[in-house]
Amino acid sequence: MSSVMNGGIGAPTEQVSAEAHRVGRYLEWLIVGCVVFVLTGAFHLHFMLTAGDWDFWLDWKDREYWVTLTPVMAIMFCGAAHYILWQHFRLPFGATLVCTLLVIAEWIVRYVGWHGWSHYPINLVTPAYFTAGALAMDAILLLSGSWVITGIFGASLFGLLFFPSNWAWLGAFHVPAEANGLVMTLADLIGFENIRTGTPEYIRIIERGTLRTFGQHSTPVSAFFSAFLCTLMYWIWWFVGKAFSTVKYIKGGGL
């Protein structure tokens, strides 16, 4: 049997190859874990700095600003992930992956930090879900293979499906209630009972009007406007993903 000399000790070639393969596999899983951890943290930080309070507090989840702003901020990382995973690996689940990682990170932070440590009720800080829109966008990318078509139809569905997919759990908190002679939603009542910072941005009423719980016409208008912005933002961040995942070589001079 042929052998190679490594530090003066003979070792079969097959044994060295198996050991190198095993170490390489461990390193690959380590790299994947680090990438997932960094991606989750980056998306969570980005989402908190952009969507911020509009998706954090229950009484801020209104039918105008929350419906418009939140999907636009969330689709940014989806567009970048689509380019990286689809162009380089032909994997069509980039949006579902990053949105799932975001929801997991949101639940960890809000349950441990805000519910467990600061004692806010968990329904006051429940995060939004993007699963329906992300699955639709991934499916369109898989079927079409085109980032243009995905931006037009997939990103639009990402914005349009956001409010309906969250209404299953949010609708119960938009039921009108009477408290101290005032008509408000249960979300508003929970917000008033849990005092936060005293800055004007937190003590003002986010959306003015009576019985705004029923949505009326502003919700679909906000959803369609969000769908339009999601299309533009998806294309922009597709090229952001391209810029960050492109390997460039610099030609060196002769020695």
Helix (H) or strand (E) run with residue 238 in it: helix 218-244
User: Which of 62, 55, 66 has the alpha carbon at shortest distance from 185?
Assistant: 62
- What is the enclosing helix (H) or strand (E) of 66? helix 65-82
Looking at 114-217, list the stretches that DSSP marks H as alpha helix, in order from N- to C-terminal side: 131-144, 147-149, 155-160, 162-170, 186-193, 200-203
Q: Which domains does the chain have, with CATH numbers?
A: 12-242 (1.20.1450.10)
CB 154 within 8 A of CB 140: yes
Residue 96: per-residue pLDDT: 97
Name the nearest CA neighbour of 123 among 180, 170, 75. Answer: 170
> What pLDDT score was predicted for residue 196?
80
Which amino acid, 39?
A: L
Report pTM. 0.84
pLDDT along the chain (255 residues), means of 10: 47 74 88 93 94 89 88 96 94 96 96 93 94 97 96 97 94 87 85 74 56 62 94 97 84 63
DSSP 196: -
Give the model's pLDDT for residue 201.
57
Between CA 164 and CA 161 the distance in angstroms is: 5
Predicted confidence at residue 178, as pLDDT, reads 86
155-178 residues labelled b (16+ CB within 10 A) or e (exposed): bbbbbbbbbebbeeebeebbeeee
